Amino acid sequence: MVIAESDLEWRFSGPGGPGGQHANTSNTRVEVVFNIADSTSLDEATRSRLMAALGPSIRVVCAATRSQHRNREMARDLLEARVRRALVVTPARRATRPSRAAAERRLAAKRTQAARKQRRRWRPHDE
């Protein structure tokens, strides 16, 4: 799947928080918005799957580095990862039963634990 660059809306702003001269003058914080509902690069099945998983739009913000170019790359990578995760089809879980050996192991472990606790109990001495 390829997302057209025209489907992405980029915004840039100054990073939040304290900083020196560089932070006050450069717009390194990057925000990218991908509007799934209005996208021209998605087919209907992909669009409906993404909208069910993520909603009508995806917003990613990155202000990790002092470089706008690097933040832009990181935001694009984060957006790609979210879209990939949303498109993964998880197989339906089939209900299974534990095997007889597993059930016997569990019950044996319970008996062992019960015996251990029984031995720890206080009993009055015969006098």
* CA neighbor of 63 nearest in space, from 9, 26, 8, 20: 26
Phi-psi region of 17 (alpha: psi -120 to 50; beta: other; left: phi over 0): left
Tokens (6 digits) for 79: 């957006």
| pLDDT computed for residue 25 by the predictor | 72
Counting Cβ atoms within 10 Å, is residue 61 exposed (0-12), middle (13-18) or buried (19+)? middle
The predicted model scores a pTM of: 0.67
Q: Mean pLDDT for each 10-residue chunk of the chain (127 residues)?
A: 86 77 76 91 90 92 90 94 92 94 98 95 77
**What would you measure as the largest C-alpha separation in the chain, in angstroms?**
92
- The structural domains of the chain, with segments of one domain joined by +, span 5-87
What CATH class is the domain 5-87? alpha beta
| pLDDT computed for residue 21 by the predictor | 67
Phi, psi (deg, nearest 5) at residue 79: -65, -45
